[in-house]
Amino acid sequence: MATIIARPESRTGHREQLDLASVAHGRIMLVLLIFVAISTVMAGKMVWMGVAAATQAERSISPIPVPHRADIVDRNGVPLARDIDGYAIAVRRDRLLGDPRELAEKLHGIFPDQTVGHFYKLLTSGGQWNYLRTRALPREVAAVNALGEVGIEFPREPERLYPQRTMAAHLIGFVNRDGHGAMGVERAFNDRLVDLNMRGQPLQLSMDSRVQAALEDELIYGMEDQKAKGAVGLVLDSRTGEVIAMASLPTFNPNRIDPIPSPPPVVGKDGKLYPGKITCDMSPRCNRVVQARYELGSTFKPLSFAAAMDAGIIVSMAKRYDATAPLQVGGFSIRDDHPLGRWLNVPEALLHSSNIVTARIADEMGQKPLEKAYRSMEFDRPATIELREQAGTLFPGKWYRTTIMTTAYGHGIAVTPMHLASAYAALVNGGVWHPATVIKRKPGEKIEARRIFSEETSARMRQLLRMIVQTGTGRNADAVGYRVGGKTGTAEKPKDGGYARRSLVSTFASAFPMEDPRYVVVVMMDEPQGSSRTPGVRTAAYTAAPVVKSFVARAGPLLGVFPEANRDIDISELKPLVEGDKESE
Amino acid sequence: MSGNDEGITLIDGGAPRPGKLGQLEMALSPLRPRPRKPLPRERTALAIWFWEIDRVLLGLIIVLIAIGLVAVAAASPVAAAKLSSAENTLAPLYYFYRQLMWIALGLPIMIVVSMLPRVQARRLAIALSIVFGLFLLLVPVIGTNVNGATRWLGAGMFRFQPSEFLKPVFVVSIAWLLSMRARDPSLPVISLTAMLTGIVALLLMRQPDFGQTVIFCACWAALLLIGGASMRIMTTVGLSALSLFVLMYLFYENGRERIDAFLFPVKDAIEGPDQVQLAHATITHGGLMGVGPGGGSAKFNLPEAHTDYIFSVIGEEFGLIACVAIAMVYLAIVVRVLLRLLDEEDSFVILASAGLAIEMGLQAIINMGVNIHIFPSKGMTLPFISYGGSSMIALCGGVGLLLAFTRRNPYMSRSPYGMTWSGR
């Protein structure tokens, strides 16, 4: 009420003033509205930016970005190696708040494979910034994060992931911390894998991971059962030289590379200590397929027989050779493992794996044809394959008479299983040698080819190899219906200038289906002690051959070869030569 | 309310205000037992000050300062890492501690200024605006050049930016001049203030400091608008602002580059991402929820992370939701001040308070707008949040003035707008 009375008074006294104030009030409302409007627009933009950022982050994941390094896939596109954004766990030491000892114990609780001392050392010494762990799993990162230590960081780093873990580890290889391929395909094709123009395309290997898995499984079983030191398996496409499977045991996990323990130093001739050489027995990373050379024994016999056929030494299969007594040459005595004490024709000599007959044929053939055949199979140089891990061969420098005789049955010459598989591929495919490759051949690709045996010789060898499996030493490899053909080979390991009687290398070199051989399978057991069914028997017939049998039965259907009872290579013309011969084994 | 030596009669003195009635009503109300001591019994200056001051505004300012401390703590390692050299490393929280120091210096200034009676506060502001106006004149002569702009006076610890200090007191002075119109409409205050603003703008463009120029001019225009300038004058002002923008684009190298960069962003420039792209990458890195305090990584690419682009750092670590919240705090401050002016009758108080609030709100809008890329980039601090001594002390002084002008006895004038909802 008082206000009402007062109003007219003040209005008359301060008319201008009042108008100004009321105008000001109206305009303040206007300014207010402008501020509210601008704030609303800005808040809207902020929320939109946040939402857009979230969706953009999602979108950037969906179209696969070009990786730092190309993927590796098998011949069917199964991923074998790919780049992922991994987590590392690192410590920034000057930011550590907690007690390092306590922290190290907690870290050990999360990563039991590393000792408390290991973590304590990383937390207290070294650079200001140390990796505690690389390739950590999200679960482990969450666990470490839950420790609440601000000095521990989790940088994202591109990591090479091998989703199949140990499978084909030697073939695929791995990448070292600098991002360079350090082994296998990763090393051999490093430039191709990091090439900016090509790394969007995965590198397709010739390897079939299903066959590889079957081979590794059978090899592991065989190795465990026979208590062998190592095992080698190799499947080669005889028509193209493609490596379908390549396994070397023991193996390793390329996702986690442990340093190789350094070998004990050796005393040199001058009395000083030299760093010892790392041998295949020391490191699971050794790819025995290409890095280890072996005297592969009787598996060489078909090769030297084929050379003799091409050289015109063996004209008739029925020709008989004296195997009644060990052959004495220059102080050596060449004897048979299963002496029959009679004359043997050519098929019989192979079926019973007669060293004496092989030596006689080689002696008759002489150095030239044998050396030429071995050189044409590249036994005198490292194997032709892209992998860089390569061992040289032991090739005779001087060909004495005994050299010719022993190399014909695989002694005094050492090659890698890779060499043997390539040679067998040529032996059975019609006599044409192809370079081996780990990369899938394109359809219609022109493959380098070199004739090393005649068609006829190859056809004859197919019959003979099949016969060895049907009735000879390779019977344990006869996967029913798969038409396997092959040759056993058991050799003693060289030791201190001589041979170790009980350290054997048992090999089975084979191919299937024999009427039109497509796949060459080489299996080698390193120092087998005999399987549970045949304890103490270390020869290839009882160690390597059974592995081939179960492998072929398993992998044949995967490779398009199915068991057929009524289909086989025609061996009727050779059958009479061994008919009626009662097997001793 | 104290007197008015300028001869402007205040309404308050005239008639009994509803406030007195309200006091009586409340004291009698059976529903609402009033506290025994509605007024502080101890009538110390401090108690009365606290009673009369706009505590909501003070609270909002303190919230801003607290947010600012957290933000500077987040941005400090970036700036410290940038300025550290091999032989001289700065502690990661160097700027945080410096900011603490500036706050310790600024808050008392704010409190002391807010305790001044209105008239003294006004006189102080006018005196200071003359002093800092002179300082601004001196800048081209004895100024210190930093990053290609001559904005500072003095050296070392005692380096300061006159334009920062001039801003609040200049606004108050303009408000005072414009409020003269209330007494005598014939005074040529509009052209006088236009001239003053023009001189300041020229000096600022010489530095060059385009952002501050915009603030000064916009504040002046806002005061004209609130001060009741006619539509014709406002249109003239608007059109001349537009033509000045065009002229500046044509003849002002620095400004043109920035506007070009804003209008036609170059994707994947050879020199790498520019400030705007870096700020965008930083502010969106945390998404809506942020990556968490101290977890930011994109911030380390930002130039001026602790000053001009601190808002982006907040966006990365605390999320864009936090950014929206901060924008809302600024809006709340402006709304709070302006709403309370709706029942204010003193035209000087209206103009000065509105001017100070608008100045701060405008500065915040420009800074946030640059960070979220709706304005071209320009050097502008985020009030109370960015690191900076001059800025912090000047802002504290400005808010001190604002608090002094908006002081009122809660029972002398009850506002239907700006009161707390407990009814006091």
Residue-level pLDDT at B39: 57
**Measured between CB atoms, does B156 come within 8 Å of chain A?**
no
pLDDT over 90 at B157, yes or no: no
φ, ψ of residue A545 in degrees (nearest 5): -60, -45
**Measured between CB atoms, does B350 come within 8 Å of chain A?**
yes
Q: How do A343-345 and A79-92 pair as beta strands?
A: unpaired
Q: What is the DSSP string of A498-525?
A: EEEEEEEEEEEEEEESTTS--EEEEEEE
Residue-level pLDDT at A57: 62
Q: State whether residue A294 is helix, strand or coil.
A: strand
Nearest to B226 among A19, A24, A52 (CB): A24
Tell me if B376 sits within 8 A of B317, measured CB to CB: no
More confidently predicted of A269 and A32: A32
Contact list, A53 vs chain B (CB under 8 Å): 284-285, 287, 320
More confidently predicted of A340 and B29: A340
Residue that is written with structure tokens 């970005």 in the block: A65
pLDDT over 80 at A585, yes or no: no
Cα–Cα distance measured from residue A500 to residue B176, given in angstroms and rounded to the nearest whole number: 112
H/E stretch holding A246: strand A243-249
Contact list, A7 vs chain B (CB under 8 Å): 15
**Considering only CA atoms, which of A294, A314, A319 is closest in space to residue A364?**
A314
Q: Which residues pair with A159 in a beta bridge?
A: A84
pLDDT over 50 at B2, yes or no: no
- Among B residues 22-81, those touching chain A with beta carbons less than 8 Å apart: none
Contact list, B228 vs chain A (CB under 8 Å): 19-20, 23-24, 27
Nearest to B228 among A3, A23, A50 (CB): A23
pLDDT over 60 at A2, yes or no: no
**Measured between CB atoms, does A52 come within 8 Å of chain B?**
yes
Do B14 and A9 count as a contact with CB atoms less than 8 A apart?
Answer: yes
Cα–Cα distance measured from residue A149 to residue A102, given in angstroms and rounded to the nearest whole number: 11
CA dihedral B401, B406, B412, B418 (to 10 degrees): -160
Q: State whether residue B212 is helix, strand or coil.
A: helix
Residue that is written with structure tokens 């205000």 in the block: B17
Residue-level pLDDT at A259: 78
pLDDT over 50 at B4, yes or no: no
Residue-level pLDDT at B9: 42
Residue percentage of chain B with pLDDT more than 90: 39
Q: State whether residue A478 is helix, strand or coil.
A: coil
Buried-exposed string A415-425: b where 16+ CB fall within 10 A, e elsewhere: bbbbbbbbbbb
Region B389-409 average pLDDT: 91
Do A17 and B361 count as a contact with CB atoms less than 8 A apart?
Answer: no
Residue-level pLDDT at B423: 47
Residue percentage of chain B with pLDDT more than 70: 82
Do B225 and A6 count as a contact with CB atoms less than 8 A apart?
Answer: no
Long-range contacts of B273-277 (CB under 8 A, 24+ apart): B273/B301, B275/B302, B275/B303, B275/B304, B275/B309, B275/B377, B276/B373, B276/B377
Least confident of A27-31, A337-341, B170-174: A337-341
pLDDT over 70 at A367, yes or no: yes
CA A220 to chain CA centroid, Å, is 14
Q: How do A203-204 and A72-73 pair as beta strands?
A: parallel
pLDDT over 90 at A158, yes or no: no
Residue-level pLDDT at B253: 73
**Measured between CB atoms, does B279 come within 8 Å of chain A?**
no
Residue-level pLDDT at A8: 43
Structure tokens belonging to residue A87:
């987590």
More confidently predicted of B87 and B195: B195
More confidently predicted of B102 and B146: B102
Cα–Cα distance measured from residue B400 to residue B53, given in angstroms and rounded to the nearest whole number: 10
ipTM > 0.90, yes or no: no
**Measured between CB atoms, does A31 come within 8 Å of chain B?**
yes
Do B351 and A24 count as a contact with CB atoms less than 8 A apart?
Answer: yes
Q: How do A332-334 and B149-152 pair as beta strands?
A: unpaired
Do B9 and A17 count as a contact with CB atoms less than 8 A apart?
Answer: yes
Region A377-392 average pLDDT: 92
pLDDT over 80 at B177, yes or no: yes
Nearest to A50 among B14, B319, B331 (CB): B319
Reported as a single tens digit per residue, the pLDDT across A253-267 is: 998 887 777 777 777
Do A27 and B228 count as a contact with CB atoms less than 8 A apart?
Answer: yes
Residue percentage of chain A with pLDDT more than 90: 55
**Measured between CB atoms, does A20 come within 8 Å of chain B?**
yes
The whole-angstrom distance between B225's CA and the closest CA on chain A is: 7
**Considering only CA atoms, which of A162, A175, A180, A153 is closest in space to residue A87?**
A153
Strand ranges in B254-398 using DSSP code E only, listed in sequence order: none
Q: How many A-B residue pairs are in contact by the CB < 8 A criterion?
A: 134
Q: What amino acid positions of A are annotated as catalytic residues?
A: 298
Beta-carbon contacts of B93 under 8 Å, excluding residues fewer than 6 positions away, are B73, B76, B77, B80
Dihedral angle sign, alpha carbons of residues B74, B79, B85, B91: negative
Q: Which residues pair with A451 in a beta bridge?
A: A432
Cis? peptide before B185, omega within 30° of 0: no
Tell me if B10 sits within 8 A of B345, measured CB to CB: yes
Region B305-330 average pLDDT: 92
Q: Which amino acid is at A512?
A: F
pLDDT tier at B44, thresholds 50, 70, 90: confident
Nearest to A42 among B8, B283, B368 (CB): B368
Q: How many residues does chain B have?
A: 424
Q: Which residues pair with A204 in a beta bridge?
A: A73
Cα–Cα distance measured from residue A392 to residue A374, given in angstroms and rounded to the nearest whole number: 14
**Considering only CA atoms, which of A96, A95, A115 is closest in space to residue A105?**
A115
Which residue is closest to B281 within chain A, CA to CA?
Answer: A53
Q: Which amino acid is at A500?
A: A
The whole-angstrom distance between A95's CA and the closest CA on chain B is: 11
Buried-exposed string B385-412: b where 16+ CB fall within 10 A, e elsewhere: bbbbbbbbbbbbbbbbbbbbbbbbebbe
Tell me if A198 sits within 8 A of A69, measured CB to CB: no
Do A10 and B285 count as a contact with CB atoms less than 8 A apart?
Answer: no
Cα–Cα distance measured from residue B46 to residue A259, given in angstroms and rounded to the nearest whole number: 75
Residue B355, judged by CB atoms within 10 A of its CB (0-12, 13-18, 19+), counts as buried
Q: Which amino acid is at A395?
A: F
Reported as a single tens digit per residue, the pLDDT across A71-123 is: 999 999 999 998 888 888 998 887 788 888 999 999 999 999 888 988 898 88
Helices (H), B184-302: 189-206, 210-226, 231-251, 253-263, 275-285
Tell me if A298 sits within 8 A of A488, measured CB to CB: yes
pLDDT tier at A11, thresholds 50, 70, 90: very low
H/E stretch holding A180: none
**What is the CB-side half-sphere exposure of residue A334 using CA atoms within 13 A?**
27
Contact list, B358 vs chain A (CB under 8 Å): 31, 35
**Measured between CB atoms, does B416 come within 8 Å of chain A?**
no
Task: Tell me, yes or no, if the pTM score tops 0.80.
Answer: no
Region B60-88 average pLDDT: 87
Q: What is the DSSP string of A324-353?
A: SSPEEETTEEE--SS---SEEEHHHHHHTT
pLDDT tier at B41, thresholds 50, 70, 90: low
More confidently predicted of A496 and A242: A242
Least confident of A119-133, B206-220, B259-273, B319-333: B259-273
Nearest to B18 among A3, A17, A43 (CB): A3
pLDDT tier at B25, thresholds 50, 70, 90: low
Do B339 and A32 count as a contact with CB atoms less than 8 A apart?
Answer: yes
Reported as a single tens digit per residue, the pLDDT across A416-475 is: 999 999 999 999 999 999 999 999 999 888 999 999 999 999 999 999 999 999 988 899
pLDDT tier at B31, thresholds 50, 70, 90: low
The whole-angstrom distance between B191's CA and the closest CA on chain A is: 18
Do A14 and B222 count as a contact with CB atoms less than 8 A apart?
Answer: no
Angle at B196 between CA B190 and CA B199, to 5 degrees: 140
**Measured between CB atoms, does A117 come within 8 Å of chain B?**
no
More confidently predicted of A55 and A115: A115
* Domain positions in chain B: 45-405
H/E stretch holding B131: helix B118-142
**Measured between CB atoms, does A33 come within 8 Å of chain B?**
no
Region B333-342 average pLDDT: 92
Q: List Cα–Cα distances, B111 to B77, B105, B397, in angstroms.
A: 31, 11, 9
Dihedral angle sign, alpha carbons of residues A269, A270, A272, A278: negative
Region A373-380 average pLDDT: 94
Residue-level pLDDT at A185: 94
Cα–Cα distance measured from residue A426 to residue A422, given in angstroms and rounded to the nearest whole number: 6
Q: How many residues does chain A have?
A: 585
Region A176-205 average pLDDT: 89
The three state secondary structure string of A426-466 is HHHCCCEECCCECECCCCCCCCCCEECCCHHHHHHHHHHHH
Beta-carbon contacts of A90 under 8 Å, excluding residues fewer than 6 positions away, are A129, A130, A131, A132, A152, A153, A154, A155
Nearest to B287 among A5, A24, A54 (CB): A54
